[in-house]
């Protein structure tokens, strides 16, 4: 290979790397601890439920978090 081909190949690699980097950085924002606990249920295993919108217990409600047919019990926001 000549030097010009190697330079073009290097430019292509750098270009593709920058596209991949932008895609990864634009996936979403970092969650704070409260948001993390809301998503994964805080402590203990995730509880699944069938009746979307109904109460799992006095402090948790069944929310659809897709995919699939089951909901997830999440903390009720009392604010």
Query: To which H or E segment does residue 63 belong?
Result: strand 60-64
Q: What are 18's two structure tokens?
A: 């920058």
pTM: 0.35
Q: Provide the pLDDT confidence category of residue 30 given band limits of 50, 70 and 90.
A: confident
Please report the pLDDT score of residue 78 as a whole number: 62
Q: Average pLDDT over the chain, rounded to whole?
A: 76
pLDDT at 6 over 70: yes
Task: Quote the radius of gyration of the chain (alpha carbons, Å).
Answer: 23
* C-beta neighbour count of 73 within 10 angstroms: 19
Q: What are 52's two structure tokens?
A: 């979307």
């Amino acid at each position: 290979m000549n030097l010009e081909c190697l330079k073009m190949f290097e430019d292509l690699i750098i270009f593709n790397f920058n596209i991949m980097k932008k895609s990864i950085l634009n996936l979403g924002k970092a969650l704070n601890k409260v948001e993390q606990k809301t998503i994964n249920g805080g402590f203990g295993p995730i509880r699944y439920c069938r009746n979307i919108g109904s109460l799992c217990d006095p402090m948790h409600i069944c929310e659809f978090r897709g995919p699939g047919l089951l909901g997830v019990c999440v903390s009720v926001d009392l604010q």
